[in-house]
Structures are given as structure tokens and as C-alpha cells.
Amino acid sequence: MEKSKYVLELAFLLGLIFMLSTNATSFAKDHGNNLQTYIVHVKRPESRPTIESEELHNWYHSFLPQASNKDRMVFSYRNVASGFAVKLTPEEAKALLEKDEIVSARPERTLSLHTTHTPSFLGLRQGVGLWNSSNLGQGVIIGVIDTGIYPFHPSFNDEGMPPPPPKWKGHCEFTGQRTCNNKLIGARNLLKSANEEPPFENFFHGTHTAAEAAGRFVENASVFGNAQGTAVGMAPNAHLAMYKVCNDKVGCTESAILAAMDIAIDDGVDVLSLSLGLGSLPFVEDPIAIGAFAAIQNGVFVSCSAANSGPNYSTLSNEAPWILTVGASTIDRKIAASAVLGNGAEYEGESLLQPEDFSPTLLPLVYAGANGNLNSSFCLPGFLNNVDVKGKVVVCDIGGGFSSQVKGQVVLDAGGVAMILANPQSLGFSTFAVAHVLPAVEVSYVAGLAIKSYINSTTSPTATISFKGTVIGDALAPAVVSFSSRGPSQASPGILKPDIIGPGVNILAAWAVSVDNKIPAYNIVSGTSMSCPHLSGVAALLKSAHPDWSPAAIKSAIMTTANTVNLGGKPILDQRLLPADIFATGAGHVNPNKANDPGLVYDIQSDDYIPYLCGLGYEDREIGILVQRRVRCSGVKVIPEAQLNYPSFSIVMGSDTQYYTRTLTNVGPAEATYIVDLVVPLAMGMSVNPSQITFTEVNQKVTFSVEFIPQIKENRGNHTFAQGSLSWIRVSDKHTVRTPISVIFE
């Protein structure tokens, strides 16, 4: 088949799948008259094995209630089924089943699209919403600063892609068999110690993050047969440029990072994605903060990972307010497995390796730490010598500085046949799909305690592992994963961080080397390194749809439209299955389609950060490092952190009332009126003036003030902080612009 024909047919099929998925999701239900879509199967007349389409449609229609109209018929099937889809009431469906020709009539179920899944999970569909208005990110350039890239992967093919825009001035350092193309338009190696070698990946990170941000549609992606579907990034029509700053010899050097950001700005990128960081630092000592400030001065959006040091507080990296700081959340897909005990108890968990030939027969069960040796409990190399694990299922604790694969190899070498990995308390209910070296399952902290209790309760404990494959539809998703770093910010407590959370757990994307002997290679990995490129891709979509929006406007749109509830309609949870607090979620979980229509934005120009930086106490020369010109704070009207026109409030509250202002820019309908809605934090009083704002034109600005009033300390109880929100609700259609509020009690 010719390539062009293949691409057209692929696009058509994908569009059809998305369309059907959207129809299924909408459930075709009319609450006014209790109509919903039913799938009806009928007996085809034996005397008429073939029927023309029109006649078949009319025959199907003859089964419908006489009072109904033809608009009730949704689809007439000819090849895939003998039957039709129709809108009926439950009573009409029951009556239909009384007809001899009707085999079945059941309500339509909601199906999930089988892809890397995060686009579908985030509501991105071809032909509708943000993917439609941005043309999948066409014309936007994403610069990924990472470990290099494997350019041969089909996720970076350029079939049907136009050349890069004229502003692109970058270079490609690949030569020989493969150079860059209209997808991967640039690739540079900034590691001087690498002897100027091409920017191929040798650290297994950059290929994955690049594909998450902007990978093309590639069918039949999976790992060990799991998560089967079509791999695709957030902005599949965006151009990519890779800047290699890390390798396995020298790590990620500060000089290379600064050089990469410098070159990327010159090259003409629109978005920079950095899944790396240095921990909390003063902004003037943080190369990413410095480079990012130069980027936003040039209109470049910067997205960075929050770090993987959670769940403890104040563990963030990349805290500067001109950076989008991204935490990690779960998706509704699990690669499921369970630990099944001899007493009948079963504890759910996950495993990427799902061996089909593993016997369900119960085997002897042993806890590696039963000898009281902490190193043995972690199944560390050399510490199972005195533990009888031969032919047994071995319980190992997670931790000790070694990976799950290393622990599995230790168990395997000692004669164990399977492994149950038990979470520490800090990981709670967060589990991960890992490519183990033997049959294994990772279970929660609570499950681990129960399994160990069972072992101690009997002289002959037994267990096996039940592998359940890919399961979609976890109503608790998104949830904040245990490792996602938390605020409050140490570098600037008056700015709420992280800004947002996005998919970062069990993410399938391109990989440089096969983990399951299949080509092209994919892998499923977790980390805020994965959530960052998701948001980079979303930012690229928004930049394509709204090319006049500033980096701050894009950030505001993402934050003020974020979701605060999970798929089950309950508050987003954390690894303890308790409601996640504001220092875990920031504004909430990204909702790309809502971000495309925020209504109002909090905009910030680069010079607006100077009074803020002066207020933080930086010296003139230090601020000069960031803004690259001479600054005198003595001639600037200094502002406190919370006065920055940020799309959130972070208040450090003492005994005095505090006043702040915010300015909103109208990017929605020209004429609109909004009223304020407050969720007042614990032990606080609040007032907003004015409480109603009206716009008469697009891009009009309106300023409002907020008063934060402390109440008596006894009302705080044992709480060290509180949270709430300030929302502007559009009168005409209840469109909401939500601003989160954190209050830290001094």
C-alpha cells in the first residue's frame, strides 16, 4: 500500500474511532423523556440472507414503537451485526423484547479508547475540542531538554507533516542513515565531554518524554502485550527539537542546561519541556529558573517537573513563578495483578510482567525479613543467603536503595519462584507497573501488613499471584501519587506550588531499547518526568489555538480550569486515599479542553516580576542576573509575593489583615458579567471588592481586591495551613474561573 494512502486510511479510522468513542461516552441520553441508546440484535430472516441497505433499514425501523420518529434510529448495522442502535425508554425496550425477531436489547455501554490512554483520559479526541481547534498542535515547536533521542522510532515519523515554520533556525546533528525530518526538526548535543557525538539517547529518558509531548499516532503499541493500543503524544502535529544535556557518564550538567535553553530560544521554540531539576534553590542560583526567565521574556512557555521527593512537604524543584511546575497523578488504567493467599484473601496490585504460563497453584509463602534483618526484608543482594526461599513466593519490602528488578533477581538467584513487593507507609496505596524479572506483584502498604500478619498466623502460609492484564476505569483516578513532590515552596512561600498535576504514573511511550523483544520499542514508566511533557504538549496545543496568548496567559488558562474531583466525582485523593491537600495538587488536575476556553486569564509580563523579586530580598545585582539588565530596587515599587498577578493565592498569615489585588483579562465573550464565589479557608475571613465584574470587550482588563482577615487562633485547631478558593462565575452560562487559595499559619 502506498504511504499516502495508508496515512489517509489511518487518519480516517482514527477519526472514526474517536467519533464512536465520543458518542459512546455521551451515552445518548435524554433526561427529559428518559430516552437512552440501546443496542438491538435481531434475527435475520432465513429466507432473505441478503437485503439491500435501504430495505434493511426500513425493516429495522418497523420494530420501533409506532409513536417514535426516524430520528430515534442512531445506526443501522449491515456487516458488523444484524441489528441497530436506537433511542428508547426502558419501557419501550422491554416491549421490544417481546417480539420474536428480537434477540436482545441492552443499554449502550461507555467504551474507552485503547491508546497510550492519557489523551483519551484527558478528554482529547480527534475532530473536537482542543485537538480540533489546535489541529493537534500544528505549527508549534516543542524543545525538549533531556538525555537525547532515538530518532528512528515511528513516534517521530513525519508523514503528512509540513516543514517547520520560517522562524525555525535550529540545527540537526544526526548524520548518515538518519537526519532530522519535519517532525524531529532539530537535535543538538550540548555535552562537550561527549566528543561531539550525535544526540542519540543512552540514558533511556528523552525518547519517552519527547514522545509523550508530541509523539505521532502509532498503532499496536504495547509492553509485554499490556496497554495495547495506539501510541500518541499530547500534540502529535507539533514539531520537536531535542537538546541533549544528560548522559550516563556525567549526568545532567548545569552548563549544558543553560546552553540548551539559550540555543533553544535562538532556534525559535515555542515551548520548553524540562523533566529535571536541582531541588529548591534561590532563583538566581538555579540554572533552570535563570534560563526560563529568558525564555518567557522571548514568549517561550516553560514546563518543568516538580520532582519525585514526595510525599513530604517542601520537597519541590523548579519553583519560580514563571515556570509551570507539574506534579504527578495516576490515570484510570492499571496493569493489574493480585496476591492471592491461602486463607482466600486477595490483595490488588500491579505488574507489567504478566506471564501466561504462571500456575495459579498455591505455593509456600515466606517473608524475607522474618529473620529480623532489615537488609533481608528489602531482599538486597547477598542478604537472602540465610533465608529459605527455594520454590516459594517471597515477600520483599520496597526500599533499601535497590530497584524492584534487582530485588527480583536476588529472589530468583536464591531459588524463589515469585515475589510480592510490599509498599512502605510513605507509598501508601500507590502501586506501579514494573517489568519484573520473575512473576511479581506490588501491593499497598496496608495489603503488605495484612500479608505479613497472615504469614505469622499459620505454620504453612501459601500464596500465588493472579495476573489480570490491562484494566481501565478506575474511578479514583486521578489521584496524587506518593512520590510527587509537595509544596509549600521554600524559595517563595507566597507562590502556590506545584501549579498543576498531570498524568505521571504507568505512562506508555516510545523507548530506545526493547524491554519485551518487540520493535518498535515502548516502555511503561512513572515519574513527574512523565507529567511534565504532558503539560508541555497541552501548552503547545493552547499556543497553536491561541498564538497571541503570553506564557502567563497559557499557564493561567491551565490552572483556572483544572479539575478538583476524580472520575467518581469525589475530591482528588492522595496515596493514603485521603483528600489530597493543595500543596499536593496545586490548582488541580489539568483539563485541556476547558483550558482552551478559560474566559478570563491572569496575565503577567516579564517586567512584572521585578517588584516581586525585589520584595523577596534579592539584591540589585542578583536580579540583574535574571532579567539581564541593570535593576535598582530602590526605584521600584516593591510588592509582597502574594501581590504578583498569579492565578492562585498563597498567604503566609500572621495576626494582621492582608490586602491584595488581581487583574483579569477577558479572553472570552466580549460582553460578560461575573460574580464572585468564595470557599473561605478555615479560621479566616475574606471579602472581595467588587463582588461583580462586567466586561464589554475582548482583552479588557478589570482589577479587584481581596481582603484576608485572620480569626482567633483557637479556630485553627492543630492545623498549620488551610485552603479555599476564589471563583468568578459567568452569569450567562455558569462558566467558572477558579483561583485556589492556600493559607500558611505563622
Q: Which three cell numbers stand for residue 256?
A: 549544558
Residue found under cell 420474536: 100
Helix 551-560 with 528-545: angle, nearest 10 deg: 110
Closest CA to 608 of 566, 534, 661: 661
**HEC readout, 258-302:** HHHHHHHHHHCCCEEEECCCCCCCCHHHCHHHHHHHHHHHCCCEE
The catalytic position among 57, 153, 205, 239 is 205
**Residue that has been written with the C-alpha cell 529473620 in this structure:** 371
Spacing of C-alpha 194 from chain mean position: 33
Catalytic entry in 134, 305, 529, 648: 529
Among the listed residues 146, 267, 574, 603, the single catalytic one is 146
- The rounded distance, in Å, linking the Cα atoms of 680 and 344 is 48
| β-strand pairing of 226-231 with 218-223 | antiparallel
Residue 146 is among the residues annotated as catalytic for this protein: yes
Q: By three-state DSSP, how is residue 699 classified?
A: coil
Asked if 484 is an active-site residue, the reply is no
Can you tell me whether residue 335 is helix, strand or coil?
strand
Name the residue among 663, 660, 534 with its Cα closest to residue 591: 534
Of 314, 312, 305, residue with least CA distance to 272: 305
Q: Are 435 and 515 in contact (CB under 8 A)?
A: yes
Q: How far apart are CA 238 and CA 645, in angstroms?
A: 30
118's enclosing H/E stretch is helix 118-121
Residue 468 backbone dihedrals phi, psi, to 5 degrees:
-115, -5
Q: What is the DSSP string of 358-370?
A: ---S-EEEEEGGG
Separation CA 354–CA 349 (nearest Å):
12
What beta strand segments (E) does 89-151 contain?
102-107, 141-146
Residue 248 known to be catalytic: no
Grid coordinates representing 57? Answer: 433499514
Task: Locate 175 and state its grid cell.
Answer: 548524520
Cα–Cα distance for residue pair 224/506, rounded to 1 Å: 14
Catalytic site positions: 146, 205, 529
